[in-house]
Structures are given as C-alpha cells and as structure tokens.
Structure 1
Amino acid sequence: MEYRILLVDDNDMQRYAIAKTLTSAGFQVLEAQNGTEALQKATQGVDLVILDIKLPDIDGFEVCKRLKSDPSTSSIPVMHLTATYLSTEDKVKGLEGGADGYLTYPVKPSELIATSHALIRMKKAEVTLQKLLHEKEILVQELYHRARNNMQVIASLLQLYSDRCKDPEGRAVLKEIEAKIHVMALAHQKLYESENPSYVNLDEYLKDLTLVAPETGLDTSLKATISYNGESALVLVDTAIPLGLAVHELLTNALRHAFPNGKPGKIDVRLREGVQGEISVDIADNGVGLPQDFSIEKHGKLGLLLASSLIENQLGGKLTYTSKRGTTWHIKIEKELYSPRV
C-alpha cells in the first residue's frame, strides 16, 4: 500500500531532497511551503505530516497544535524535522505540543524512512484497535439487549402460568418471580442505553423502578403514591441489579403493609452519592410503622430477608431502619466490591 506523506518545508532544495528520499522508498509525497498551506493540505487524506519548525508564516509548533486540535486532522501523526531547533528543550516542546516524532538535520535517509514507517504503523494499529473496541462495544450492547429480551420472554411465560394458576399461594409466588425478572431486565435495558457498557445510571434506574413497583401484582386498590428524588450516580451492573432488587423489595413491602385497609399514604425514595462515591438510598413511608421490638432476623418475611441479604452479603453494605411516624429504610454502600468487566 502506498502511504501519503505531507512534507512541509519552506527550503526548496531541502524539501526536494527529502521528497526524493521518501518517493524512492515508495511513499507518495504532497508538498507545502508554509504553515497555512500545510493546514489546508492536511485535510486531503494524508497518513503522516513531516513538519519543519521555522516557517515563514506560522511556526511548526503552532501548526502541530492546530492539527492536533482539529478533529479532522487530530489523528494524523506529526513528525518535526528541523535544522534550527536542535536543543533538548526544543524537542521537549515539540513532543509536548503534540508531535509524535522529532528528528533533526543531518538525518540519514534510512532513519527518516524507518521513523516514517514506524509512525504510520503505530497510527494504523491505533485505528485497528479503536475499530475492534467499537465492535466489542456493539457486541456487548447486543448481548445486553438479548439478555433483556430473554428475561421479558421468561416474565411473559410466568405471567401466563400465574394467570392460569388456581392456587393463590402458587400464583403469588409466580408473580413475585415475574416482578424480580422485570427488575433485572430493566437494569439490562439501562445498560444497553448506557454509553459505557459496564455502568448503569443508578438515578434513572431507580426512578424507573418506582414506576414499576406498583404494577407488579399488588392490590390495585392501593392508594399510596411513590415519589422519587435522586442525583446522578454511575454504578456497575453487578451493583445495580442486587441494589435494584433490594429497593424493589422494600418498596413492595411498604405498599403491602404500611397502609392497611386501603389507607392512603406516600412513599419517598431518595438517592444520594457521597464525595467518596458511597451510595445512600432511603425508602420512607408515612404508614403505620413497625413494632417496637421488630428485627429483620426475627420478624422479617422472605422479601425483607432477601433485601437484607442482597445489601449486606452481596454488596457489603448496611441496611438499617427508623420507625417514627412511618418507617424509613436506609441503604448505605461505602464502595463497590466489583470491577468493570468491559
């Protein structure tokens, strides 16, 4: 493959000699005599810019900065080639200014050619890597999308069976499982929508959960309302799913038990992220409250025990409560226990 190099030098003889060396090595050479012309021709599909520094209009340092700041040319490797700026400080300035290479005269043809090949090769490898990464992200998103769809199919089958189940207890169990699958499917939906294939926007996830909770097989005569207040927080999907399941259990528990006999009430859900990344979720209701001697271990039913286990055992967090003029459940997770998978 014939690579195209933009050679920028205001010295005609010097530019001619370098162009001849590059052409003999199989490169196609595009020439520019000043910085302005270089900036124009760099957009014409070149693989490398060999850039002198002492130019009549814009010096090479500035030309390099402009090339690297322009999205249409930022990916093109730039190599300074100069007979004037020879000190270590000059080289440092050039490289810190965005140049990918720095050679000085006199330069051997073999070194010039080898360096040009190396910079182009590095660029091609970077492009290939970015392409592979993009393909991987698409594949991961597709897997999340399929996982969510498969969960929706399972939930639909469970709904079908529960609708035909004549045993009230059996029907209730199927509804519980169906609700949990909806919670997990929602997390995968948020993951599919996320720009980062490892993280879920917890704020959006919990907000949607508060809309799902009243629809998961509960008594339609319930008059309690749910409000949500949160702030943006990104967590790994390994954290989001068990946390979402726990929040869902606490919400449904409040809807079922905090407002007996159809009593109207409200449930407030609040999400906060601390300065060290710790996650706090409060679920507060203004219902009948809990008995004074209540404890999760002794009096908690399966859903509450599950929420406690998810928070404390799977996420390494704490689940506590206060019961005064209603009940408030406090979830605190100091740090995530998992690492990004992608």
Structure 2
Amino acid sequence: MTKILVIEDNNLIREMVLELLASRGFEAVGAENGKVGIQLAAQIPDLILSDVMMPELNGFEVFAAVRSHPATASIPFIFMTASEMEKVLELKADGYLQKPCSATEMLAAIATQLEKPTVSNPQHQKVQDNSAPSNLSLRASNQKSRFEIASVCSQ
C-alpha cells in the first residue's frame, strides 16, 4: 500500500486530507508539525505532502532535513501553501499546491509524483507497490470527490 505522510498543523485540514487519502486506498499518516513530520519521514513514506507555515519547524526546514538525509532524499515532496509560493518555486521540490486547493487537484499532484519512475541510489530505491490504486490521475479527474478541501485549505 502506498504510504503518504501529511504534515499540516491545521487539525481540520490534516484530518480531511488523511480521510481523502484513506478513501482512495492510501496509507495516510499525519503529523501536526514539522518536527513530528521529520521523525515520521524516517519511516520512508512513498510521498510527503507538507504545509509551509507551521510551528516547531516550517515546511522549508522539513524539506531541507528530508533532502539532506540519503535515506529520505528521493522521497517525492509536495508543498502546500497559501502565501509562500515564490519561495516554494525557488526550491527543487517535486510539486506544490496553492491553498485553497480541491481534492481533485491534490490527487492529481500526488498521482503525478507517484507515476514518475524512481531513479536514485539503488540502495534506497523503492519497489513499486501494485496494490495502490491504478490510473489514479484518470480516477482523480473523472470522479467528483465528496471531499472538497478548498473551503478549509485557506489559512
């Protein structure tokens, strides 16, 4: 099962994203701040979805920590932000979502990253998990989600 780490300090947003991901067949794990997020990243999720503005450690600090460690450096990392888009674009993150965002946009961004072939140090290369939902991009664009995050994603 594909594991996604969601690092978000807003409890409502984090819980809605976790519920959305679980409903799509992902193993979704939440962290309430950057410090906890870094600790959970050590469990090597398949993707990290992180807010930028958070207590403890912000998303930029989480990104730097994840990229600096060989075991986690190749994990796809998607930023979610309402106000720091310029700085997010300067970094070499794998993707970004501008808040507010819809469930469809979020699922499409995740699918784009998960469909990329893993090219990294073979010692840290992940084996593709065929139990994950297939054609996630198609499903995300063709299905109306009952989880519209747009109304709660703004800070």
Which TM-score applies when normalising by structure 1?
Answer: 0.34
Q: Report what 2:96 is aligned to.
A: 102
Q: Report what 1:27 is aligned to.
A: 26
Counterpart AA for 1:11: N
- Please say if residues 25 and 113 of structure 1, whose CA atoms lie closer than 8 Å, have aligned partners that are also in contact: no
1:114 equivalent to 2:108? Answer yes
Aligned with 1:79: secondary structure? strand
Q: Report what 2:133 is aligned to.
A: none
Q: Compute the displacement of 1:14 (Å).
A: 0.9
Q: Which runs of 4+ in 1 moved over 3 A?
A: none
Counterpart AA for 1:32: A
Q: Report what 1:90 is aligned to.
A: 87
Q: Report what 1:126 is aligned to.
A: 118
Q: Report what 2:150 is aligned to.
A: none
Cα RMSD (Å) of the superposition?
Answer: 1.7
Q: Partners in 1 of 2:121 and 2:29 — Cα distance? A: 27
Q: Partners in 1 of 2:110 and 2:29 — Cα distance? A: 14
Q: Partners in 2 of 1:61 and 1:130 — Cα distance? A: 24
Counterpart AA for 2:114: I
- Please say if residues 34 and 58 of structure 1, whose CA atoms lie closer than 8 Å, have aligned partners that are also in contact: yes
Aligned with 1:45: secondary structure? coil
Aligned with 1:30: secondary structure? strand
Task: Map Cα deviations across residues 275-316 of structure 1 (whole Å, 9 max, x no partner).
Answer: xxxxxxxxxxxxxxxxxxxxxxxxxxxxxxxxxxxxxxxxxx
Q: Partners in 1 of 2:56 and 2:121 — Cα distance? A: 35
Q: Partners in 1 of 2:39 and 2:88 — Cα distance? A: 25
Q: Compute the displacement of 1:83 (Å).
A: 2.7
Q: Partners in 1 of 2:42 and 2:33 — Cα distance? A: 15
Q: Which runs of 5+ in 2 are unaligned?
A: 123-155
More helix by share: 1
Q: Report what 2:49 is aligned to.
A: 50
Q: Partners in 2 of 1:92 and 1:82 — Cα distance? A: 11
Q: Partners in 2 of 1:50 and 1:58 — Cα distance? A: 15
Aligned with 2:48: secondary structure? strand
- Please say if residues 44 and 75 of structure 2, whose CA atoms lie closer than 8 Å, have aligned partners that are also in contact: no
Q: Partners in 1 of 2:112 and 2:82 — Cα distance? A: 22
Counterpart AA for 2:118: E
- Please say if residues 7 and 49 of structure 2, whose CA atoms lie closer than 8 Å, have aligned partners that are also in contact: yes
Counterpart AA for 2:101: V
Q: Partners in 2 of 1:20 and 1:83 — Cα distance? A: 21
Aligned with 1:10: secondary structure? coil
When Rg is computed on C-alpha atoms for both structures, the one with the higher figure is 1
Q: Report what 2:137 is aligned to.
A: none
The change in CA–CA distance for 1:24 and 1:130 in structure 2 (over 3 A counts) is: same
Task: Map Cα deviations across residues 186-231 of structure 1 (whole Å, 9 max, x no partner).
Answer: xxxxxxxxxxxxxxxxxxxxxxxxxxxxxxxxxxxxxxxxxxxxxx
Q: Partners in 2 of 1:101 and 1:30 — Cα distance? A: 19
Which TM-score applies when normalising by structure 2?
Answer: 0.72
- Please say if residues 4 and 47 of structure 1, whose CA atoms lie closer than 8 Å, have aligned partners that are also in contact: yes
Aligned with 1:7: secondary structure? strand
- Please say if residues 77 and 95 of structure 2, whose CA atoms lie closer than 8 Å, have aligned partners that are also in contact: yes
